[in-house]
Amino acid sequence: MTDPLALTATELSRAIAARQLSCVELMQASLARIEALNPRFNAIVSLREPDVLLAEARARDDALARGERLGWMHGFPVAVKDLSDAQGLPTTLGSPAIGKRPAAADALFVQRMKRAGAIVIGKTNTPEFGLGSHTYNPVFGATFNAYDPSRSAGGSSGGAAVALALRMLPVADGSDMGGSLRNPAAFNNVVGFRPSRGRVPAVPAEDAFFQQLGTEGPMGRSVDDVARLLSTMAGWDDRAPLSLTDRLPDADAPDPIARMHGKRIGWLGSIWPDLPLEAGVLPLCEAALTSFDAIGCVVEPCTLEFSRDRNWSAWLRLRQLLVGGKLGALYADPGKRALLKPEAIWEIEQSHALTAAQLYQASANRTALYHAFRKLFEHYDYVVAPTAQVFPFDAALTWPRSIDGTAMDTYHRWMEIVTPFTLAGLPVVSMPVGFNA
């Protein structure tokens, strides 16, 4: 086999199971790819020693020779987003305030990937605390776009998306509160899926009840690969009381395209008429809608009957509650506060001004938004909107200060288009539709 990295994860899995490709060969190819490209793109951080990784790959081959296959990810090299724990590797959160102490245990989804046969080779880079859809931090530096290293990789799963696009990894995990699986997937032409909240249990978690905005999820270069990784990451756990109990459909289910005929697709466009988008974003997405026509879907414009102001108000307050609450102890320590990025300090200080009445109203607005989507789904099987308001921007920027002449009043306002789907708790997939000029 000349280039195993050209295969999808699903194809790799079958090739390894059939002994057409060894786990050592796959690990060697991945490590060579990382050695060649990572110095320029900086997707992988905290890489483990190659000799140790090759020994683990050899052990996977020995197991196959004995007829022991752990699962569909047998021998796969994976790197865990540096917001989640992988035993023996530091979880830095991209912040000098955290340090580089090795994690004592794996996060639940990492345990599940290992049980399916994966080998953790390191971590993928992320913005500090995952704040903002642009991957840079003072610990490891910036990650650069897979197609143009002068531009942003997106975030906060930017390292994961770039590692996928450059074929360093067959699949990757990510996480998403404000588009952090979706935005970097769009910026790097891969697939990112934010599952329903509770589909992938957050274990360990300091808060299992209030935190209902963020979730881990899968990324890949094909929908098939993403579905398979989701089936590995997902599943109820009693340490996550709000995790979902129903089983996912089999990843080997019959061709889903055949079941799409006659489905109704609602095109939301920019969602709100006054939401600014960079020139070219809407036409690119609208051109991709013809793919639905080609498989027999009915596509028509639709409107979300919910105001932009109510959505943004709910988003700001609920995010400030969660981010400010989680990072509050760091802020309380003057030495660590001095190491925090300005956006983290802003979130924390905004959270200090929140009242119970404001938080109740934010939750009520979120509930009303959910019902607005429920009403849409009485008429449509799926709704579609752009993943991002802008194309990948200059990596030297911290964040876009304006879109189409409209000033951005917060560090995350340029990602506003993703927020209603987060607030409503909907499963959302980001699909590649092409490039700008």
Q: 335 and 386 share a domain?
A: yes
Q: 185 and 207 share a domain?
A: yes
The pTM of the full predicted model, rounded to 2 decimals, is 0.98
Q: 79 and 27 share a domain?
A: yes
Domain end point (choices 216, 246, 276): 246
Position 252 in a domain = no
How far is Cα 265 from Cα 293, in angstroms, rounded to an integer? 10
175-223 residue pLDDT tens: 999 999 999 999 999 999 999 999 999 999 999 999 999 999 999 999 9
* Catalytic, out of 84, 180, 231, 430: 180
Q: 231 and 273 share a domain?
A: no
Predicted pLDDT at 404: 97
Position 437 in a domain = no
Q: Is the pLDDT of residue 251 over 80?
A: no
User: Quick check: 132 and 155 in contact, CB under 8 A?
Assistant: yes
Position 253 in a domain = no
Mean pLDDT of 226-235: 98
Helices 108-115 and 223-233 cross at an angle (nearest 10°) of: 110
Cα 84 to Cα 89, 102, 237: the distances in Å are 10, 12, 17
Q: 281 and 235 share a domain?
A: no
Q: Is the pLDDT of residue 252 over 80?
A: no
Predicted pLDDT at 1: 67
Task: For Cα atoms 73, 79, 83, give the angle at the middle one, nearest 5 degrees.
Answer: 125
Mean pLDDT of 341-362: 99
Domain end point (choices 226, 246, 266): 246
- The percent of residues in the chain predicted with pLDDT above 90, rounded, is 96
Which residues partner with 175 through β-bridges?
216
Residue 156 annotated as catalytic: yes
Q: What is the dihedral of CA 25, 27, 31, 33, to 10 degrees?
A: 60
Residues of the domain holding 329: 258-430
* Catalytic, out of 13, 22, 81, 152: 81
Residue 175 annotated as catalytic: no
166: its two tokens: 């450059």
Predicted pLDDT at 103: 98
Mean pLDDT of 358-381: 99
Q: 400 and 372 share a domain?
A: yes
Position 179 in a domain = yes
Position 97 in a domain = yes
How far is Cα 128 from Cα 312, in angstroms, rounded to an integer? 23
Nearest residue to 133 via CA among 429, 428, 416: 416
Position 251 in a domain = no
Nearest residue to 123 via CA among 154, 144, 92, 99: 92
Q: Is the pLDDT of residue 268 over 90?
A: yes
Q: 236 and 371 share a domain?
A: no
Q: 210 and 272 share a domain?
A: no
Residue 233 sits in a domain of what CATH number? 3.90.1300.10
Q: What is the average pLDDT score of the chain? A: 97
How far is Cα 364 from Cα 54, in angstroms, rounded to an integer? 53
Residue 402 annotated as catalytic: no
Q: Is the pLDDT of residue 314 over 90?
A: yes
Position 22 in a domain = yes
* Catalytic, out of 46, 95, 133, 156: 156
Q: Is the pLDDT of residue 151 over 70?
A: yes
Predicted pLDDT at 255: 75
Domain end point (choices 246, 277, 299): 246
400-434 residue pLDDT tens: 999 999 999 999 999 999 999 999 999 999 999 99
Q: 372 and 407 share a domain?
A: yes
Q: 135 and 284 share a domain?
A: no
Structural domain count, the chain? 2
Q: 221 and 330 share a domain?
A: no
Q: 222 and 268 share a domain?
A: no
Mean pLDDT of 379-391: 99
